[in-house]
Amino acid sequence: MKRALILLAALAIGVPALSGCGTTQATDQDYVKQAEVKAAKIREIFDKVKGDWNALTPEDKSAFIALYKDEAEAKVAWEGMLNPRPRGGMPMGG
C-alpha cells in the first residue's frame, strides 16, 4: 500500500512536468513565428549593407540594436554573422 501511494505521488508530480504543462502547440508556433520574423529582419538589415556595420543608416542601426539587449550584444551578433564560427562536431574531410 505504501508503495502504491509513493507511485501515485510520483505520477502526480511527474506527469504534468513531462506533458509540458503550461505550454501549447499554438504557443510554441507563436514563438517560432516571432523568431522567424526577427531573424528575417536581422538578415535583411545585414544584407542591405553587405555586412558593413559602418554603412548602416541611423534608422537601420537603431532597428538592429532594438532586436537585442543593447548595442554590445547587437555587435557580437553582427560579428557572428560576418565571421561565423563552426560549432563542434566531427572534422570534415580526410
85's grid cell: 564560427
Does pLDDT of 16 surpass 80? no
The model's pLDDT over 44-94, given as tens digits with 9 standing for 90+, comes to: 999 999 999 999 999 999 999 999 999 999 999 999 999 988 877 666 665
Using alpha carbons, select from 29, 28, 57 the residue that is nearest to residue 44: 57
Q: What pLDDT was estimated at residue 59?
A: 97
Would you kindly state where each structural domain of the chain is located, as residue ranges?
A: 26-84
What pTM was estimated for this model as a whole? 0.63
Q: Average pLDDT of 11-28?
A: 62
Q: What pLDDT was estimated at residue 85?
A: 84
Cα-Cα-Cα-Cα torsion 35, 40, 42, 45, nearest 10 degrees, comes to -160
Greater pLDDT, 79 or 3: 79
